[in-house]
Amino acid sequence: METKRLILFVVFSFSLLLLWDSWQQKQLQTELAVNNAELSDLQPGDYDSSNIENPAYQLADDQKIVVKTSLYEAEINTVGGDIRKLKLANFQNDNKDGLYEILNDEMNPLLYIAQSGLIGKNLPTHKDVFKSDQLQYESNDQEVSVPIIFENEEVKVVKTYIFSNDNYQIKLVTSITNKSDAALQPQIYYQLLHDHKSAEKSGMMPTFTGVSYFTEASKFKKMDFDDIDNQKPFTQNANDGWIGIIQRYFASAWIIPGNSPRQFYTKRLTDGISSAGVRAKLAMVEAGSSAEVSSVLYSGPQLKKQLIKAAPGMEYTVDYGWLTFIASPLFSLLSGIQKLVHNWGVSIILLTLVIKIFFYPLSASSYRSMAQLKEVAPRLQSMKEKFGDDKQKMQQAMMELYKTEKINPLGGCLPILIQIPVFIALYWVLLGAVELRQAPFFGWITDLSVKDPLYILPILMAASMFLQQKLNPKPTDPTQARLMMMMPIIFSIFFFFFPAGLVLYWFINNVLSMMQQWYVNKQIHATAMKKKGNG
């Protein structure tokens, strides 16, 4: 098969698989369930914005409770007991001039907060004001507890946030004391608010930011913020699972442990702001008695061990799409190599080498077809000159030559097709691994998750493509030959914007492919020379 067809085949297959993955995600996003009749129709995220010119800034403000642990710097507002700000102590922001802020209420442009509340007579929602005896907490032990209190003549509600020093699970214990003479039938809700503007996608980096949820029945699903704007409010009834918001490298999710009825929901609050949450009906709280319910807010990096520990299905927030079954073991292998060499760039190089060795028997078949075509290229050119525009005779002569020389011009297709899913899976692994975020390689590459600041790797990548062409048969059609010369330039435009880790993988893959092709070419050429000598 000619080089042009080979490359176009790979590009087309790669694009087709990405489009299929995107289509599947869209299908999943449109599935809606019927509201659970046992749950209230009240939407806890409702805002009354009729008299507010800019509803994005209507969050009420009161006292701020600051919490510092080895993992977090948090700010809890006594209005609703919302977590308004959350910085990750072990992660720098993109500019490396401060801590990464996963939650923030400043709308600049990010609005991303965690809320909770109760539905029922005299019970506090996220709009009611709590009280706190202490405004500063710092963890010196394994965990720190932060209680806030709401009380009136009928009820006393205590929310206690428990921050751990060894995981990204923030436990929330809500205690309800019924001081009235009548029984209470409360509901509880937990939700995340997020703006849409800060979630806008980059055309060169097709990563997802939006709502996700998981149940054992429906498994992992995603929903874009645009879908919340354009569709009816979403609800999904379940007996397990969680709902949250995911983005590249980080995730937040409300988790109700155990198996009990619950309802997931999303709602458009205003233009450009949506909520995603879960609500549940609690047991009756009799007069003079108390009840307690626990939940977990996971908010942090998409570290596989931390995610698995948090809840079933949380590991899917590191979204590899339908190729997870390939991508997950690839990342495990990459992580295992990194533990030995302590450098993610070196790990990428060694993983690429392992993959090339594993697929060498398949690759060799493709390389042999290329090498055989390269050997007969002068004869094909002679045929073209001989038959001119008579394509039928040219085709017959080519088929006879292939038959005589025992060349299968399509021999390289199947091996490449088999390798494409692995190629794409590794692409998503390198694109989504938080471990590569701000991870240095050496020299000028101080962050494998962003583009090469000096563009040296993309240039090397383009050069490797030019050299690789020299090892392959030259197209007999001048137009095709010119197209082949342009391919490295076209590809390099994309590589200039890709993360350095991805470009490193492709460059090393190209170098190893050239070495393999050169070796096979040498063997085929020696065989051809020997055949001519014997002839």
Domain boundary among 296, 319, 342: 319
Residue 471 inside a domain? The answer is yes
Residue 205 pairs in a beta bridge with: 202
- pLDDT (0 to 100) of residue 32: 32
For residue 163, give the H/E element and its range.
strand 155-164
Boundaries of domain holding 496: 3-17+332-534
Q: 402 and 337 in one domain?
A: yes
Please give the Cα distance from 281 to 178 (Å, whole number): 16
Co-location of 282 and 339 in the same domain: no
Question: Is residue 311 located within the same domain as residue 356?
Answer: no
The predicted structure's pLDDT at residue 302 = 96
**Where residue 286 sits, what CATH number does that domain have?**
2.70.98.90
* Amino acid 413: pLDDT: 62
Q: Answer yes or no: is 457 within a domain.
A: yes
Please report whether residue 27 resides in a domain: no
* Helix, strand and coil percent figures for the chain, each rounded to 5: 40, 25, 35
Considering the domain architecture, whether residues 225 and 372 belong to the same structural domain is answered as: no
Q: What is the pLDDT of residue 371?
A: 63
Under the phi-then-psi rule, with left for phi > 0, alpha for psi from -120 to 50, and beta for the rest, what region is 411? alpha
Same domain, 389 and 466: yes
Q: Is 27 helix (H, G, I), strand (E, B) or coil?
A: helix
Residues 71 and 110 in one domain: yes
Exposed/middle/buried for residue 50 (C-beta within 10 Å: 0-12, 13-18, 19+): exposed
pLDDT tens digits for the chain (535 residues)?
334 444 444 454 444 444 444 444 443 333 333 333 334 443 443 333 233 233 444 789 999 999 999 999 999 999 999 999 999 999 999 888 899 999 999 988 889 999 999 999 899 999 999 999 999 999 877 899 999 999 999 999 999 999 999 999 999 999 999 999 999 999 999 999 999 888 765 555 667 899 999 999 999 999 988 888 776 778 999 999 999 999 999 999 999 999 999 999 999 888 889 999 999 999 999 999 999 999 999 999 999 999 999 999 999 999 887 888 899 999 999 999 999 999 999 999 999 999 988 888 777 666 666 666 666 767 777 777 777 777 777 777 777 777 766 666 555 566 667 778 888 888 889 888 999 999 999 999 999 998 999 999 999 988 888 887 776 656 556 666 677 677 777 777 778 888 899 899 989 988 988 887 787 767 766 666 666 665 5
> What is the structure's pLDDT at 180?
93
Q: Please indicate, yes or no, whether residues 119 and 246 belong to a single structural domain of this protein.
A: yes
| 185 shares its domain with 141 | yes
Q: How many separate domains does the chain show?
A: 2
Q: Using the structure block, give the residue that is written with the tokens 């880790």.
A: 501
Q: Is residue 34 part of a domain?
A: no
pTM (2 d.p.)? 0.80
Question: Could you tell me if 355 and 230 lie in one domain?
Answer: no
Q: How far is 31 from 277, CA to CA, in rounded Å?
A: 17
CA-to-CA separations, 137 to 63, 91, 132, in angstroms, rounded: 14, 21, 11
- Look at residue 391 and give its three-state secondary structure: helix
Q: What pLDDT score was predicted for residue 397?
A: 75
Contact status, residue 457 vs residue 450, Cβ threshold 8 Å: no
Task: Find the angle CA(365)-CA(21)-CA(203) to the nearest 5 degrees.
Answer: 100
The DSSP letter of residue 199 is: G
- Kindly state whether residues 210 and 315 are assigned to the same domain: yes
- The answer to whether residues 260 and 359 belong to one domain is no
CB-neighbour burial class of residue 140 (10 A; exposed 0-12, middle 13-18, buried 19+)? exposed
Q: What is the DSSP string of 240-251?
A: S-EEEEE-SSEE
- Choose the final residue of a domain: 250, 284, 319: 319
Does 41 map to a domain? no
353 inside domain: yes
C-alpha of 93 from chain center: 18
Q: Is residue 51 part of a domain?
A: no
Q: Is 345 helix (H, G, I), strand (E, B) or coil?
A: helix
CB 150 within 8 A of CB 124: yes
Look at residues 298, 319, 340 and tell me which one is the last residue of a structural domain. 319
369 and 302 in a common domain: no
Instruction: Specify if 235 maps to a domain.
Output: yes
